[in-house]
Structure 1
Amino acid sequence: MTDSPTLSYVNVFARDIVALSQFYMDVFGFTEIEKIRSPIFRGLDTGRSSLGFNAQDAYGLLKLDEFSQVSGIKFLLNIDVASAAEVDEMTPKAVSLGAKLVKSPYKTYYNWYQAVLLDPEGNVFRINHMLE
């Protein structure tokens, strides 16, 4: 019997894979997985899984051309941090690096503390901390 499935990567299609991956490295301190770098891909080690950035050329490579113009928010990145104070620290840092604040840090009904933002390419992400 094999181990249970695990999430290895979340890949984001990006107009500028270098700039967008650098944004996430600068805000969260993620490191690039240089051995998998290519002209159309950058991967970041997030600690538990990985975050990948695909250039627009990957649509053709994956036979996804007909879906490349789908509009609207289709995913939500959730990045957990160690404390509510880190949510408060990283939110303005992300904004200073080009993110747009959608919802300031707040306590949710399910007892998390989080902020909702759009990265420089308009992808939605949350900075989260689960309260006790």
Structure 2
Amino acid sequence: MMKLYLNFFCRDIEAQCRFYGAVLGLPEHEALRSPIYRALQGPGFELGFNAWPAYELLGLRERAPAAGKTAPVTCYPTLMLHDPAAVEQAAKACIAQGGQLLQGPFATYYGQWQAVLCDPESQVLRVACVGLPPGHEAPALDALLNQSSH
């Protein structure tokens, strides 16, 4: 069995741990606490928050964003929730905790209900579920591609 450990580099590991814990309803894995690390325990995964010194410890100093700059989006987690109401709740909690709703919630062409969010340190994540709420249909991919080309 495999378990996913997903880590974010953070300027404030305490605040980020609280934000994600509140938005996703996950408890802190307190046994892993250190001066430069916090983690949340999820079912089959762990969400970690590394303080800035971890760039150096991992040999990634050259890849750290400059002070005051936002890191480019090169990947993002998608957390699959159990139903559309949970996606709606996570989006509302994100805003209430100081994050941003970047898009959605909306129907995807592949039949998921999702929202694209941004945490207080500008990290991007998605929350989604399989299935759509009543009254919503999956848009056709061709229509979406035509919209984006204009």
TM-score w.r.t. the length of structure 2 is: 0.80
Moved more, 20-29 or 69-78: 69-78
Distance 2:121 2:94 in 1: 13
Match of 2:27 among 31, 34, 53: 31
Structure 2 partner of 1:10: 6
SS at match of 2:65: coil
CA-CA distance at 1:16 after TM superposition: 0.3
Cα shift readout 1:25-70 (whole Å, capped 9, x = no counterpart): 1111111111111000001101111010000011111111111128
The aligned counterpart of 1:114 is 114
Equivalents in 2 of 1:69, 1:24: separation in Å? 22
Distance 2:89 2:8 in 1: 25
Runs of 5+ unmatched residues, structure 2:
133-150
Q: Which blocks of at least 5 consecutive residues in structure 1 are unaligned?
A: none
The answer to whether residue 43 in structure 2 is matched with residue 47 in structure 1 is yes
2:37 is matched by which residue type in structure 1? F
**Cα deviation digits, residues 76-125 of structure 1 (max 9, x gap):** 11111111111112211211111111102011001100001101110111
Partner SS state of residue 31, structure 1: coil
Q: Which residue of the partner structure matches residue 103 of structure 1?
A: 103
For 1:93 and 1:26, locate their aligned partners in 2 and report how far apart those are by CA, in whole Å: 7
Structure ID, larger Rg? 2
Kindly provide the CA deviation profile for residues 5-29 of structure 1, in whole angstroms up to 9, marking residues without a partner as x.
x343011000000000110111111
The code of the aligned residue for 2:26 comes to F
Runs of at least 4 residues of structure 1 off by over 4 A? Answer: none
Between the aligned residues of both structures, percent identity stands at 37
- The residue number in structure 2 matching 1:86 is 86
2:127 is aligned to 127
Match of 2:74 in 1: 74
Paired residue total = 128
TM-score where L is the length of structure 1: 0.91
